[in-house]
Structures are given as C-alpha cells and as structure tokens.
Structure 1
C-alpha cells in the first residue's frame, strides 16, 4: 500500500467540523515558541551537566553535536529530553555526562543562548518532560470570527484528537517514503534512520484508527473493550462496564487508547477491537514489517487535553498559549482552530 502525507495527515477528519477560518503559521520563528518543562527538579550536583538553551534556526541534533565538540565529549554523551523544530524559538534542555568536570562553555554561536546551567545525578533521557508550553501566533486570518470563541471553549473542555503531526512523517512525507522502501524489502543500514521510518509507519496506522473514531464521534469516549490510560501515565488497563460513565473521562483525566502496532501485547476486545482490526486489515505489509523488526506494540491516548488554553486577537492575528504533554503535537491543536494555508 502506498503511504503518503495526504493519507497520514492532511486528509484526517476534524473533531468539531472543518474550521471556518484560515490563516498562516510560522511566518517568523517568533510566531511559534515552545518551552520545555522538566518532569523533575535538578538536584544541583552529580555527574551530568544540564543546560537550558534557547535556540532558533537550529534543530536539536545539531545543537547536541555542537555541544559535544565544544565540551570535548563524544556525541553519545550529550542527551536531550525532546526534539524541537528548527523553524521556531524553543527553550530546551540538554544533558552532558561530565563526571568531575564543570568546564566553561565557549561563546555560543548565533541562534543559541544559554539560559541556565545546573547539575544532576542522572542522565537526561528522552521524554523526561512534564509538559511543553506553547506560545503561537496565527496570522492573516480570513473568515468569520463569530464561532471562534465557541470553538476554542470546546477545545478547552473536550481536548482534541491526539493525531501525530506532519513532522513525524518527514519533509514532504520523506519518512513515509523511507518506510515504503522497507515494505518492499530494501535494507536500511542506518539504524536511527530506520527507526524514523518505522516510527512514521506506526504513526500513520495510529492516525488511521483515530480518524475512524473521529468519524464515529467516539474518539473521546470509552467503547466496550477499550484499553484505557490516565493522563501522564503509561499504564494501560481494560475498560469495564462502568468505564463509559466514569467522571474522569469528562474531566480529561481518563482516555481511550489506540494502537502503535508491533509484537502484540494487551489487546482491546469487543467493539474497540473490531474497529481497530477493520482499519488495520488493509495494511498487512506494513504490519508485517513492524513484526519483522520486532517492535513491541504500544498504546497511545486517542484524546489530547489542551491545558491552560488562552487566546486573544490583535492586528488580525490570533495569539494562543497552551500546554501539552510530551509526545503531543501542537499542530494537532491548531488544525482544529484554523485551516493553515
């Protein structure tokens, strides 16, 4: 099956109908700002140097490579909690394993600014974030404003579908093109690159299952047989006869999940399983490759709560602020508000 960006992202249904407004995103890096919130408080001592860096025009990997050269350590000694876009202003944490050393950091190149440094006893690992805080400006808005406030209130109350954003699929869907090569039996020796391709394939499958639940208006409700998860938790448990009426669903604390396919683990049952199998049955070659590379199946929440959502209009633009959990995509929120042109 051909996997393309239109299938993976652009053609996905909206939870609250297609937005009546259109506009532009990221005309300047300052229009898209994000700040990482760590899931822990640095201890102030230990073998690992933690650096909070504000960057613009740099991708995360390039900053990590510069730090390894500047501090004279191997690239694998530099870690980060999350990947952030080059075309944005981002405040991001990096960790450097420097036992017994607190070197002076050379002057940072243009586009990088050191905000603070401290020490910690443990390695900074990918995903070690409590949240990402976004400040986004949408410009050149066109269309009726009457329903904008109502739509934003609905998003604050119900959240949005937790789609993987277009970034996961690469520039012009390049990661999906790479996944297609794997499906055709071609070998990709670069392990990190192969991981990106397999991750894109799983994201496409998840988005397709979620899209079907959006069409059926059950993306934020528990179906019989669903596997559930709590906000901020990785634990998965089966729904029971009382789950559909659990007030924690309405409170945006308890969510149904969808599949990140691989070697099977806990499986949904009843209506939830039937829906997932119907969507995935047309993707047999993709599923087989995920099994061949021995990826273990995981689950991901179908709903994305949008915390601390605030907004105001100025000079024909819409300024937004909100927080999302790690692994979520701000574009999944924005696409429910306006149609990006």
Structure 2
C-alpha cells in the first residue's frame, strides 16, 4: 500500500492506495467525449402502459440536476415529476433512463435541447427511483499518460490490483475544487442551518475566477442575500436558489434547503455518511487489516443485501465465502438507528462520529427535516472489475462496468496516482 501525497485525498478520507506500483499519471475528461457512461437498467425497459413515460436520456456536459430542471422547464412541469436511477458525471457523455409522469411522447420527441437527446422507449406503472439500476458501463479515454517502457503491455499497469481496490466514495461525491457537500451536511446534522447556507454559498472553489469568488466573499462577510444575488453569477444556480428563498423569507435558513429537489438536498447528509465511511476504510487499511480477509467482528454483505457479523466460529466459513465471491467484507455506515459495535471497524466508526460530535439522533432529526430517510447500511469495502485496456499513440482507453454506488474515478485513481484535480 502507499499513502497519498495529495492533501485533498486526506481531507476526503481517501488516504491510501492499495498498490505500491507507480501510477501512469494522465488527465481524465480532457473532453466530455473522453468519459462515456451507459446505465445498465435493473429490469428490461417496460413496454406496457402506465402514467410514467420511460425515456432514454443522453446528455453531454450537463450537470444532472440542471438537466432535469431544464427538461421540466421545457415541459412546464415540476422537476419532482421526473425520476432517475442514478446521478451521472457532468463532464461526460452519459446515457440513462428517466421516468416522466404523464408526459406526451410526441412532445418529448419534439424537444430540442442543446447537447441532449430524449427518446421515449416505454411506459410503466411505477416511476424510476434512485437505485433502480444494475450498474454502469464505462469507456474512458485517458490523455497525457506515461508508461514505464514504450513497448509496455497496457495490462501491466494493473499489476498489484488483481485483488481489487478500496471501494472509496469518489471525488465527485464531495467535489475536488470545492469539497463542500459533506461540510454543508455536517452543519445540517448539527442543526446549524444558517451556517449550512453560508458554507454552501460562500466556500470558494480552487482557482475560482474573481467574479465568482467576490460574490461568495461578499455573502460570507455581510450575509446580505439580496445584494449577494446581484454579485453572484447566474451560473451558480444552486447558491442563488438558497439566496432567492432568503430574500422572500428573511431568516428562514432551514426552509431555504427545501428550494432544492429532495434528491439533491438528501445528498448533503448522505455525503457525511460517505465521508465517515472513507475515513473508516482508510483506518482499516492503515491498521493493516485486509480487504478480503474476514476476522471476528467484521461485517459481511451478500449480493441480495443480507448482512452478517463474523464470529470466531464462522470466520473460516466466511473466508471461504469471500474467496468464492459469494459475499464481501463491509463497513457499516451509521444512520438514524443506534448500532452496537461488533468489531474494529465499528469501533473506528464510533470514534469518528464522537470526534465530529455526530449521533444517530442527529440523523433522525435530519431525516425529518429533509424528508429523506438516513438509515444505516453496510457497504462493501472492495471494488473488483474486469478492465479492458487499449492504447494508441495519444490515448489509453479503459472499458469496464461497475455496480451501483461504485465510482470509476476510484478505480482509475489507483492506476493513475495523479493530482485529483486532473481527474474531474
């Protein structure tokens, strides 16, 4: 294993690489076309009837929430009527399925939105919700890479990764230039809604231009929502949504977050859960405990979602099951229900929560406030994927698929070992 040299990795809990091999460097997403993502549907596209029109959405260089709001605005409906299974990268070309409640297929086909196509493909009695997917298929082109030898076999760069890589939550979960999502979530958990608004609106991005930075600094110093709206560029639509609410309802900092769609506002607190998981996983790696070597007190999770705790009597059987890939080691991500510590990972997680002053009751309060459940759940600590690599003179092309909730950047991070700013 190797410790990351990049401060942002430690800030976000991604403190370790699993392999000692040097990275190949490189730059992701030099162009949106370098990062292709296609959603793998959980079930075949329905061909029956129902109030939900199922569409295949392909977009380039569109933020997910902005895309959904743009579609809803063109249709003259609330964005709440549009469902999707997973959030996709912005600087990419992505294909996914969405459901639109009571939409006319002819109207959908007539929509003309730059860098976006929407194709009606079926109808259903049920909307598409977060998690309704098998996974994602990726084809990613890497620029500016380096190989140790000109005639190297591209597959050689996977040396040391045959056992998989740590299943960290990736950079886009938090942001690299502006890692603010989990910080806002911490303020929300603590009930400091005014601080949460200030954190989200005022925290600057790395290398942000003068106009953007000045607007953020003005709100941080004055708290004047009305004047800040004149200073913060229109492109910062999420920040402006909070400020618009405060202009119409001064002092209602808690209510300001309800200007966001439910799926978006839930991301702040779930980002805290992700951040704690990353840190607990880094602690496990630092302590020298393997990612596929179950010991007493470890948690394991099965493909159907069932989970168990390894005991002295079941450790040998658990090791055999893990070896046959019938289950995987997991760390429990805390939520609104209290959890009794069973092993080292649980104790590390409890220590992290105590250090941050976080309790299960806070997750319960946030669930009520944000109208979203924040239940605890086990998450696998390992990513395994068959990676096909092709190389030409200027590009290295990676093809692989990942399960829901796994990040392509987490996998490529182990291969590249480059500055995270070059991966977004």
**TM superposition score category, shorter chain reference:** 0.7 to 0.9
**Mapped partners of 1:217, 1:150: distance in 2:** 26
Deviation at 1:264, TM superposition (A): 3.4
Q: Which has the higher strand share?
A: 1
Q: Do residues 323 (structure 1) and 394 (structure 2) align?
A: no
Distance 1:277 1:69, change over 3 A: closer
Distance 1:223 1:49, change over 3 A: same
Deviation at 1:114, TM superposition (A): 3.3
User: What TM-score do you get using the length of structure 2 for normalisation?
Assistant: 0.71
Question: Does the 8 Å CA contact 1:64/1:94 hold for their aligned counterparts?
Answer: no
Q: Do residues 297 (structure 1) and 303 (structure 2) align?
A: no
Q: Do residues 7 (structure 1) and 10 (structure 2) align?
A: yes
Distance 1:46 1:154, change over 3 A: farther
Q: Do residues 228 (structure 1) and 320 (structure 2) align?
A: no
Report what 1:22 is aligned to.
25
Deviation at 1:38, TM superposition (A): 0.6
State the SS of the aligned residue for 1:96: strand
Q: Do residues 57 (structure 1) and 99 (structure 2) align?
A: no
**Mapped partners of 2:35, 2:364: distance in 1:** 37
Report what 2:134 is aligned to.
130
Distance 1:195 1:124, change over 3 A: closer
Higher alpha-carbon deviation: 296-305 or 4-13:
4-13
User: What TM-score do you get using the length of structure 1 for normalisation?
Assistant: 0.87
**Mapped partners of 1:115, 1:288: distance in 2:** 44
Distance 1:150 1:69, change over 3 A: same
**Mapped partners of 1:92, 1:103: distance in 2:** 20
Report what 1:176 is aligned to.
182
Report what 2:96 is aligned to.
92
Partner of residue 390 from structure 2, selected from 294, 312, 327: 312
State the SS of the aligned residue for 1:205: helix
**Mapped partners of 2:132, 2:106: distance in 1:** 24
Report what 1:68 is aligned to.
72
**Mapped partners of 1:42, 1:149: distance in 2:** 35
Deviation at 1:18, TM superposition (A): 5.8
CA RMSD of aligned residues (A): 2.7
Question: Does the 8 Å CA contact 2:299/2:332 hold for their aligned counterparts?
Answer: no
1:188-219 C-alpha deviation (Å, 9 max, x unpaired): 43144653221221111100111122221412
Question: Does the 8 Å CA contact 2:25/2:146 hold for their aligned counterparts?
Answer: yes
> Which of structures 1 and 2 has the larger relative contact order (alpha carbons within 8 angstroms, sep 6+)?
1
**Mapped partners of 1:181, 1:218: distance in 2:** 34
**Mapped partners of 2:156, 2:359: distance in 1:** 40
Report what 2:414 is aligned to.
336
Deviation at 1:177, TM superposition (A): 3.2
Question: Does the 8 Å CA contact 2:181/2:271 hold for their aligned counterparts?
Answer: yes
**Mapped partners of 2:86, 2:173: distance in 1:** 13
State the SS of the aligned residue for 2:387: strand
Partner of residue 259 from structure 1, selected from 332, 336, 350: 332
Partner of residue 49 from structure 2, selected from 40, 46, 52: 46
**Mapped partners of 1:151, 1:248: distance in 2:** 29
1:227-261 C-alpha deviation (Å, 9 max, x unpaired): 21123x32222224334554331243411111322
Q: Which has the higher helix share?
A: 2
Deviation at 1:281, TM superposition (A): 4.3
Partner of residue 273 from structure 1, selected from 315, 321, 346: 346
Question: Does the 8 Å CA contact 1:5/1:172 hold for their aligned counterparts?
Answer: no
State the SS of the aligned residue for 1:46: coil
